[in-house]
Amino acid sequence: MRHVADGARVGAAVTLGTVTALLEAAYLLLALPFLGNPNVAAGAVRLAALEARRLHLDPALLRLAPDLEEGDGPDGGRALRYLAARVPVGVLGGLVLTLLVYGVGMAALLGRAWLTGGAFDGMTPTVPLVSYFVLAGVVALFLVLSGVAGVYALERRLARRLLAPDPTEALHRRIAELAESRAGIVTAVDAERRRIERDLHDGLQQRLVALSMLIGRSRRGRPELLEAAHEEAQHALAELREVAWRVYPSGLDSLGLGEALAGVAERSGVPVQVTCELPERPPMAVETAAYFVVCEAVTNAAKHSGAGLITVDVRRCGTMVVVRVRDDGAGGANASGGGLSGLARRVAALDGGFEVDSPVGGPTTIVAELPCG
C-alpha cells in the first residue's frame, strides 16, 4: 500500500507539473519585456517556491524564503532561469501522461469489445492475439510508468541544481548561522547564571541569614526558637534542591526523560498531564534540551497564564523528538522574552526548530523539534 501511495503522489506531482509548466511559460512570455522589474523576479521566486513544495522539497532548504526580499537580486534571476528550464520538462511529463491515458483508453475499448463477444478493428480474440496484447500492454505500462518516475526525478534534480545555493554560498550561510547560534548560547548561559544568582541571593541566602539569627538567639537562652530554626532549615533545603534541579536535574541521567518530566509535573502548582512516548533514549543533549523546554514552559504557564491544565507531549517522529507543551491559559506569551528566547537559542544550537503560538485569549502551544537521527 505504501508503494501505491508513493506512486499516486508522484503521478499527481507530474500531472500538476504539466499544468504549472504551461502557466509558467505564459508568465515568462508576458514578463519578457519587464525582466528588469523587481516584481517580476519576486513573482518568479514565489512560483519557484510553489514548485519546490509540489516536488516535496523544502523551500527553506533551497533558500527561497529570503529571496522574496531580494527579488531583483541574483536569486530572483536564478528562479527565472529555473522556470525557463523546467517548462520543457513539464511538457515532457504531459506527453508521457498523454501516452498513459491513451494506452489505458485503448486497453479499455479492446477489452470491452472482446468481452462482449465482438471484434475490435476487425480482430477477434484468439489465444495468441490476447497473449500478444497482454504482453505488449504490460511492457508499455512499465515503460510509461518508468517515464513518469523519470520525469519526477529529473524535476527534483533540476530544482536542486538551479535553485539551491552554490557550495560556497551555503558554507558562508552555515558559518553565519553557527556564529549566531554560538552568540545566542553565550547569552543564554549568562542569563541562566544571573537567574541562579538571583535565586540564591533573594531566596536561599535570606533563609540562611534568618536561620543563623534564630540559632544565635536560641543560644542566648531562647531554646523554644530551635523549632523555628529547624523549620527554616527545612525550607532552605527545599529551595536548595529546587535551584539544583533548575541547574541540572540529577534524575535525568539515572531515570530518563519520562521520570524527570514526572518530577516537573509533581512540583508544578498547576495540574500537568505528561505523555512521553520514546522507543529508546535519545542522546543526552536532546534529553536535556527537551527537559528544559518543558520545565520553562510549565513554569511560565503556572506563573503568568492563569492556566488550569498543562499538557506535555513528547514523542519520536522520524528522526526528530517533538516536544509539545500546551496550556489553557490567557495566552499572549512573548516569544522574544528572556525565558522563551533562551529556549529558542538552546534548541537552535542543536539545529532544531522552536515555535510559540500564543494568541491573546489562549491557548498557548510551544513546540520544539530536536533532531536525534
Tell me the backbone φ, ψ of residue 333, rounded to 5 degrees.
-65, 140
For 305-338, the pLDDT digits (tens) are 778 888 999 998 888 899 999 988 888 877 776 6
155 pLDDT tier (thresholds 50, 70, 90): very high
Among 60, 48, 59, 53, CA closest to 87: 48
Q: Enumerate the H helices of 72-166 as residue ranges.
A: 74-115, 127-163
- Highest CATH level, class, for 256-371: alpha beta
Instruction: Give me the percent of the chain exceeding a pLDDT of 90.
Output: 9
Over the stretch 66-112, which tens digit does the pLDDT of each residue have? 444 443 344 677 888 888 999 999 999 999 999 988 888 888 888 88
Q: Using alpha carbons only, give the angle 346, 352, 357 rounded to the nearest 5 degrees.
A: 85
On the 0-12 / 13-18 / 19+ scale of CB atoms within 10 A, 266 is: exposed
- Cα separation of 26 and 275, whole Å? 52
